[in-house]
Amino acid sequence: MSIDAIYNRRSIRKFLKKDVSIDIIQQLIDSGRVAPSAKNRQPWKYIVFGNEHKQELLQNMETGIFREENNQSLLPNSTSGISDAKNTLRIMKEAPIIIMVINTNGKSPFCEINADDRITEICDTLSIGASIENILLKATELELGTLWIANTCFAYSELTNYLNIVNQLVGAIAVGYPDEQPLPRPRKAIEDIIEYRI
């Protein structure tokens, strides 16, 4: 894979009405499969949604966001993120493919956690992040657009019930052919993120 993909990747929030083949999805997930992981635990699972299955999935996400906003908020300190979650949901409706990302070792974020388990969870989350980034870079190389999504958290219980999983829902990846070419988003300067002690 070309290193160019690292610099050319963008979050894509507009997608063409064009299907993504199963062969391509398989190539994307295969890039995720070979990522490094803590103790080689490979704590990832990817569930791929399209067509009416995707619609059903997103109906559940919509129900969750509505509940979060109107009834029983499970994330009362994050209400300022709800409008962003609605925007993300709109983008997910437009994308032909949504890949749900599961931590197969993880528990619900609403469970108590001790320090040992938190360290394990941090390592597994990092491993899954590496796997997701591989997928995004492979997609960039194949001229697909992707969006890495964490706003699924606003519908955590609805989505995990619908997926029928007891493990941790980490987030989602929207995949499709891009209908925009965003400029690079701002980044911190290299001197602001590096400290040499050599």
Ligand X SMILES: Cc1cc2nc3c(=O)[nH]c(=O)nc-3n(C[C@H](O)[C@H](O)[C@H](O)COP(=O)(O)O)c2cc1C
Please give the size of the binding site for ligand X, defined by CB under 6 A.
9
- Range list of H helices, 51-114: 51-70, 82-94
Cβ proximity to ligand X, 116 vs 142, nearer residue? 142
Cβ proximity to ligand X, 112 vs 192, nearer residue? 192
Residue selected from 22, 150, 161, 180 as contacting ligand X according to rule CB under 6 A: 150
Cβ-based neighbour number of residue 104 at 10 Å = 14
Q: Does 148 bind ligand X (CB under 6 A)?
A: yes
CB of 81 to ligand X, least distance (A): 9
Q: Does 108 bind ligand X (CB under 6 A)?
A: no
Q: Does 185 bind ligand X (CB under 6 A)?
A: yes
- With beta carbons less than 8 A apart as the criterion, state whether 100 and 159 touch: yes
Q: Does 10 bind ligand X (CB under 6 A)?
A: yes
> Which 8-state DSSP code applies to residue 172?
E
Cα 100 off chain centre by: 7
CB of 139 to ligand X, least distance (A): 12
Q: 56: Cβ–Cβ under 8 A, 6 or more apart, which residues?
A: 162
Q: Does 179 bind ligand X (CB under 6 A)?
A: no
Q: Does 140 bind ligand X (CB under 6 A)?
A: no
Residue selected from 48, 128, 149, 159 as contacting ligand X according to rule CB under 6 A: 149
| Rounded Cα distance, 105 and 123, in Å | 11
| Rounded Cα distance, 121 and 107, in Å | 9
CB of 71 to ligand X, least distance (A): 22
CB of 177 to ligand X, least distance (A): 17
Strand segments, DSSP code E, in the chain are 44-50, 97-103, 145-149, 168-176
Q: Give the interface with ligand X as residue ranges (CB under 6 A).
A: 10-11, 88, 147-151, 185
